[in-house]
A and B are shown apart, each in its own frame.
Chain A
Amino acid sequence: MRSLGRASDWMFAPAPPTRLALFRILVGLFATTYLGVRLPAFVSLVGDPSSDFEPVGVLWWMSEPLPDGVWYALLAFTIASGLAFTAGALFRWTGPLFAVLLLVVTSYRSSWGQLLHFENLLVIHALIIGFSRSARALSVDGRRPLAATDQADTDAVYGWPVRLAALVTVSTYVLAGTAKLRYGGLDWVLGDSLRNHVAYSAVRLELLGGTPSPLAAPLVERAWIFPPLAFTTVVLELGAPIALFGRRKRNAWVVGAWLFHAGVAAAMFVVFPYPLFLIAFAPLFELERIAERFSAIRRNRRSAAAGTAVPVLPPRRP
Chain B
Amino acid sequence: MVPRSGRRNRFPVLIVVLVVAAVVAPAVRDRASFPLSTYPIYADSRPRSVTLNVAVGIGRDGSTRPLSLDAIADTDDPLIAQSTLDRAVSSGRAEELCLIIATRAGPEVESVEIARERHDLIDRVLDEDSLRSRDLLARCEVIR
Contacts and interface: CB of A to CB of B under 8 A. Distances in A.
B92 to A, nearest CB: 11
B132 to A, nearest CB: 13
> Which has the most chain B C-beta neighbours within 10 Å: A156, A179, A208?
A208
Interface residues of A, number: 73
B33 A208 contact: no
Interface string A155-198: 01100100010011001100110111011110110011111110
A257 interface: no
B75 to A, nearest CB: 6
B143 interface: no
A14 B87 CA distance: 51
Contacts, number: 195
B2 A9 contact: yes
Given A196-B48, A196-B121, A200-B46, A14 B16 contact: no
Given A123-B35, A188-B45, A217 B79 contact: no
Interface string A46-57: 000101100011
Contacts of B74: 44
Contact of B33 (A57, A171, A193, A202): A57
Contact of B23 (A171, A182, A193): A171
A175 B75 contact: no
A116 interface: yes
B23 A124 contact: yes
A57 B117 contact: no
B125 A184 contact: no
B78 A208 contact: yes
A156 B24 CA distance: 24
Interface string B11-47: 0110110011001101100101111111111111111
B13 A184 contact: no
Contact of B13 (A8, A13, A167): A8
A203 B121 contact: yes
B119 A120 contact: no
B8 interface: yes
Interface stretch (A61-69, A106-114, A280-288, A302-310): A106-114
Interface in B53-109: 54-55, 66-69, 71-72, 74-87, 91, 93
B136 interface: no
Contacts of B5: 12
A103 interface: yes
Given A44-B75, A209-B72, A115 B32 contact: yes
Q: Which of B12, B20, B69, B126 neighbours the largest number of chain A CB atoms within 10 Å of its CB?
A: B12
13 contacts: A12-B5, A116-B79, A157-B12, A160-B16, A180-B42, A182-B30, A183-B45, A196-B48, A197-B46, A204-B78, A207-B52, A209-B67, A216-B125
Given A182-B43, A191-B45, A203-B121, 4 more contacts: A113-B84, A197-B46, A207-B117, A208-B54
Q: Which 9 A-B residue pairings sit nearest by Cβ, starting from the closest?
A: A199-B121, A114-B83, A176-B39, A196-B46, A179-B43, A120-B35, A123-B35, A209-B68, A57-B34
Interface of A: 5, 8-9, 11-14, 41, 44, 49, 51-52, 56-57, 103, 106-107, 110, 112-117, 119-121, 123-124, 128, 156-157, 160, 164, 167-168, 171-172, 175-176, 178-180, 182-185, 187-188, 191-197, 199-200, 202-210, 212, 216-217, 220-221, 270
